Chain A
């Protein structure tokens, strides 16, 4: 029960803090003091208290989508292992449901964007659908690698398997971390895939899709986007952290990994520019090739006798 409470607390409490850490990192790198860490919280609460302006071309789909998106992302979060080596809900094959819940959220966001009839939002929707779509096959390849080593098929059991066996699998582990970090950049819409700070509609992906949302709807969308950072960050944590440690230590370690991931995201954002749109798919394909290499390494390790 305590485990459940700690997990839910991290899952629902950390997202906006993580955005604060990323922004603070970028500010420090740029030589500024930056906004307080809790600024995203204040923004979130302010949005919740506001009214809304809704486009006159829209249908109920536009109003429903932010709630569907947030619900789907929260439920996907329940399947991800956090503190204490377990997820809130865990079962064999939960990674399939996890991926498809994220897809359901994306479907809702894309439809809401198309509902405004704006060419910018259509453009963002088309890009988001493709780029975060390309992540999925790669994610399944990575999971296949982990599951083959673990002999188990739930996220919580399969992910920690790569670090346990050592040897050649260290390669797979490193590639796995890199791949999930790419997934974080894509799902979280960060540089070099998308630039959350751009002010030119043509170059935005996620930000342009939510241009017409306001008030609580926008709050839901922004919270869901931040939650996805925590979710994918938690996948990285599960990959690198040992599973069987006391709850308190484990919770602290997960938070630490999340903080490191946030700082890394901020640093990447500070030192690189956004890729050209035509090159983004190639960047995401890096994750697919990583997935194939991980699978090959795992097969060599398990069946080829290579250590």
Chain B
């Protein structure tokens, strides 16, 4: 706990320093202090996980707040570790990313102060969210987190689309906060006050409508996390933000929503089966729709944003299996589900940040996010491309990378449910496995498309002269994340020790055996993952040996003997995705613009598709339109004349005084 407080103090100092020091020093000093703070927090969090206990410190915070407990339990410590890791690397990458943009469209150095101030504030508030266990204080740090990230999203505020995305994000977050406030008021009204430590008792009171309140919290936290159908802010905000901010937001900030949901689950005790099924259904929809929308996307960062929805769905499937395990009093299923969900939080923060950073490095050189304009990046930026491919394999859950490990744990929860004696559990488990498999397959298609179209092949546009791998401040964090993805994939039994205490906490520690059989499974997986690396290296050595001394020529690609291959003849992202989109058309709301060639000598023809979003088109937009129509009736209030506003103030004062006199 001491280390945690020291770390946050360092981060906040760095954040404030960014405002006051001269322009040249802003990014360096602030990032240095913030990085030191993150490292201290990581050590503290790691020690807390390792000890497995719960540390509490109560702050006396005056008459308004009363006592504010700061609690570092295994769950908070795990999230704090992941947050500190992502923010540490994101901050370092950010200094390079903002410097690299020496073109006209980038942030001026004297404006960087505000940016790094918000970045530090975001880091500190995310860390505090995991430990503050007091409703009012929690809402305040939650709000600071939302606002800081809002200002980071609108860093490039001179672009209209960025401001639009930012406002959309801001509004979405506040819809979420309304749900949270209502939830906290409900619980607090039952005599629990503000202290989270008393909430479990309220939730387990039989007269309390626990499932309803859980769903209210789920909606509030789910908007942050990006569950379907509340995810509409996500594909806008991530592309609008600078890449290091996208990496931090998509990698870890949306996971604070997952933290919130898990915290509420820990209060819930034994949930009803229906509630677990509802969570599973929402999660399955998020996972499948997220990846389907991603396949339809040709904007690289928006595509990655939709993959966040998919991965949040996978995490949700883990949480749902965990809750189902609790509901059926099957602690092992609960443990595996929660362990998979929590580990996937860390894994996703690693590979998603890596993917966003690599995408950012490409954006800095090409100034486009459109896949159809990329191609052949790997020849000019081999390190970036290699790391993007590593990140892609990891996000598809392919061994030997980290994504496989956490998905395996969720699978393990499902197949442990299969061998039981409950028909509902068997059915749900089988369907969860099929959904996970489907999502894995679609993710593979999507990332094969991105890697193949953007990074491999021939450039579709002449590459700019400065097209090369980024400098070390951007390359270092990417290399480290890639190494972590491989390390966790090859040594899953070591990585899983980080989540064991948290998963035990959520699954009810007493019901579990001290030695868990899953560790042995992970050892076998480690063996095969390492075997894959070694065998590949062996085969490459064999290939080298066989080709040594033999002629190896380079020649142009086979094109039916014409010898006139041009970039325009390459398979495009749209063509690659077309067979899948044909199958998934019903959920896509695909907008097509077709201008057919006419006449005997047609001179022009065009075809465009714009993937829509059924929730936005059918649910959110009609709702917003209706609300707009209703609220338009009150526009006369806003007349613009100062006298009228002063009059309103007077009326308000008078009414308040009368009301106070009466009461």
Query: Chain A interface (Cβ within 8 Å of chain B)?
Result: 48-61, 63-64, 66-68, 70-72, 74-75, 78-79, 89, 91-94, 96-97, 99-101, 103-104, 106-107, 110-111, 113-123, 125-127, 129-130, 133-134, 136-137, 139-141, 143-145, 147-148, 150-153, 201, 211-212, 215-217, 220, 278, 281, 291, 295, 299, 302-303
From 428 to 457 in chain B, residues with beta carbon under 8 angstroms from any chain A beta carbon are: 429-430, 433-438, 440-442, 444-445, 447-449, 451-453, 456-457
| Chain A binder among B98-106, B275-283, B348-356, B525-533 | B525-533
- A74–B556 CB distance below 8 A: no
Cβ–Cβ < 8 Å partners of B382 in chain A: 59-60
Tell me which of A55, A71, A104, A291 contacts B398 (CB under 8 A).
A104
Beyond A111-B389, A111-B456: 10 further Cβ-contacts under 8 Å?
Answer: A51-B553, A52-B552, A67-B539, A67-B543, A75-B531, A75-B532, A89-B528, A93-B521, A104-B398, A126-B575
Question: Is A136 in contact with B528, judged by CB distance below 8 angstroms?
Answer: no
Any A CB within 8 A of the CB of B579? yes
Main secondary structure on B side of the interface with A? helix
Given contacts A97-B408, A104-B398, contact A215 B559 (CB under 8 A): no
The chain A residue with its CB closest to the CB of B422 is A303
Q: Would you call B521 and A55 a contact (CB within 8 A)?
A: no
Alpha-carbon gap, A129 to B375, bound state (A): 20
Whether the Cβ atoms of B536 and A61 lie closer than 8 Å is no
Interface of A is mostly: helix
Task: Find out whether the CB atom of A148 lies under 8 angstroms from the CB atom of B418.
Answer: yes
Measured between beta carbons, the chain A residues less than 8 angstroms from B557 are 55-57, 116-118, 121, 212
CA A106 to CA B396, docked complex, whole Å: 12
Please tell me the number of chain B residues within 8 Å of chain A, measured between CB atoms.
89
- Give bound CA distance, A250 to B385, whole Å: 48
Any A CB within 8 A of the CB of B393:
yes
The verdict on B20 contacting chain A, using a C-beta distance below 8 Å, is no
B535/A71 in contact, CB under 8 A: yes
With a CB–CB cut-off of 8 A, which chain B residues contact A144? Answer: 415, 418, 426, 429-430, 433-434
Which of A54, A97, A144, A281 has the most chain B CB atoms inside 10 A of its CB? A144
Binds A, one of B182-190, B262-270, B563-571, B631-639: B563-571
Interface assignment of B142: CB less than 8 Å from any CB of chain A: no
A-B residue pairs in contact (CB < 8 Å), sample of 12: A56-B557, A57-B556, A63-B543, A89-B524, A107-B398, A111-B448, A114-B456, A115-B452, A123-B571, A140-B437, A150-B419, A220-B539
Chain B residues with CB below 8 A from A119, complex form: 569-571
Whether the pair B558, A212 counts as a contact (CB closer than 8 A) is yes
Partner of A137, one of B375, B438, B536: B438
Chain A residues lying within 8 Å of B435, measured Cβ to Cβ, are 137
Residues of A near B583 (CB, < 8 A) are: 281
Task: Establish whether residues B571 and A215, one from each chain, have CB atoms under 8 Å apart when the complex forms.
Answer: no
B419 and A133 form a contact (CB under 8 A): no
Question: B468 on the interface (CB 8 Å rule)?
Answer: no
- CB contacts (< 8 Å) of A64 on chain B: these are 536, 540
Measured in the bound complex, the distance between the Cα atoms of B404 and A60 in whole Å is 24
What residues of chain A lie closer than 8 Å to B532, measured between beta carbons? 68, 71-72, 75, 101, 104
**A59-B379, A107-B448 known; A91 and B457 CB under 8 Å?**
no
Chain A residues, Cβ within 8 Å of B555: 53-56
Judging by beta carbons under 8 Å apart, are B571 and A75 in contact? Answer: no
Given contacts A75-B532, A125-B448, contact A216 B398 (CB under 8 A): no
B560 within 8 A of A: yes
B317 CB to closest chain A CB (Å) equals: 13
Q: Are the CB atoms of B433 and A114 closer together than 8 Å?
A: no
A48-B546 CB under 8 A given contacts A57-B556, A111-B389 = yes
Cα of A134 to Cα of B550 in the assembled complex, Å: 40
CB distance from A50 to the nearest CB of B (A): 7
B201 CB to closest chain A CB (Å) equals: 37
Give a binary string over B469-495; 1 marks a CB under 8 Å from any A CB, 0 the rest: 000000000000000000000000000
